[in-house]
Amino acid sequence: MQTQPHVPADPHHLRSAWQALLADEPRLRIRDAAERLHVREAELRASECGGEATVRLHDDFREILLRLPLLGEVMALTRNNSAVHEKVGVYPRATFTGPQGLVLGPDIDLRLFLGRWDSAFAAFEGAQPSLHFFDSHGDAVHKVHLRDSSDRAEFDRLVEVFRSADQSPRQRVIAPEPVAAPRPDDAIDVPGFQAAWLAMQDTHEFFGLLRRHGVTRTQALRLAPPGHAMRVASDSPRVALDGAAAGSLPIMVFVASMGCIQIHTGPVMRVAPMGPWLNVMDPGFNLHLRADHVRDVWVVRKPTSDGIVTSLELFDAADDTIALMFGARKPGRPEDENWRALIATLPPV
């Protein structure tokens, strides 16, 4: 399919419209403002370039990422349309294999897909400055927010080193391609797919399994071997988080944008629903989940060399992944039986 053209917004009109929104709603977030103005977030961010509020940076994402440890403690943020994942910590040194990167720290734990990163900006708004990275569609893939303890002088040096000569307020974005319809179930080699599922030795093999057999993730769950995928009640994320908090059970929570997967590993303590949002509000970890966006919840069991690994997987109405939850575990160790027992309490639908 060919990429659809995107009509760029006039940046001067856009900036004025954004300021008018903020005058009425000072706490309005940029993502929500962009949606109100029918533009992409990167366009709105770029509209402030040329002034003091926003600086466009070079697209040397690797080198920027390699300097992040110098900032000290920061807040890393990755989100999609239905979930926001925030972790506080010090970035460890990133490592790269081709366009893929790893940030493996006790607090900040990321999988990076730099081939999908397109632009970067430093923003000087609010109490602390921040870094914003976007894909070619103008959607944020990752953000870094300074805290009171961060090294502000090092942040300013980073901005000067990577400041782009192009400070135009106009941002080029590409409209996303239409999503192809899944192949019909009767076109799938279901016995072969199920045999390959049962032969997995590592959960990371699952992505390759989907590609080889030409199935979407939710289609794969429907076609899974018996006993390996089960739909459960829509309130299961709340039940799982409450249960993990009550039992001091360490878990893993994955939230992904198009260019980054961010992972929390550890306990959750304060689970706080608020309107449509299901929140975890802990020191060092915040999760904000739009419970009303969750259409399907699946319990998924994947074989590994360490035994079965069980996940709770959340999907929206477009079958896009919202978040994944696992019991905390290390390679070489079997899954925590307490996590399995908690997941076993979730009622099927």
pLDDT number for residue 287 = 98
The low-confidence residues of the chain, meaning pLDDT below 50, are 1-5
pTM: 0.95
Domain 185-344 part of CATH 3.40.1570.10? yes
pLDDT number for residue 4 = 47
- Say which CATH class 11-88+121-162 falls into: alpha beta
Q: What is the 3-state secondary structure (H, E, C) of 132-171?
A: EEECCCCCEEEEEEECCCCCHHHHHHHHHHHECCCCCCCC
pLDDT number for residue 6 = 56
Strand order from edge to edge, sheet including 100-104: 95-97, 100-104, 109-113, 260-266, 251-256, 321-327, 307-315, 296-304, 229-232
How is the chain split into domains, by residue range?
Answer: 11-88+121-162, 185-344
Taking a C-beta distance cutoff of 8 angstroms, is the pair 113, 260 a contact? Answer: yes
pLDDT number for residue 177 = 86
pLDDT number for residue 8 = 63
* The two structure tokens encoding residue 19: 């300021």
DSSP 75-133: EEEEE-SSEEEEEEEEPPPPEEETTEEEEE-SS-EEEEEGGG--EEEEE--SSS-EEEE
pLDDT number for residue 7 = 53
What residues form DSSP beta bridges with 132?
121, 143
DSSP 243-305: HHHHTT--EEEEEE-SSEEEEEEE----EEEETTEEEEEETTEEEEEEGGG--EEEEEEEEET
> Matching CATH topology for 11-88+121-162 and 185-344?
yes
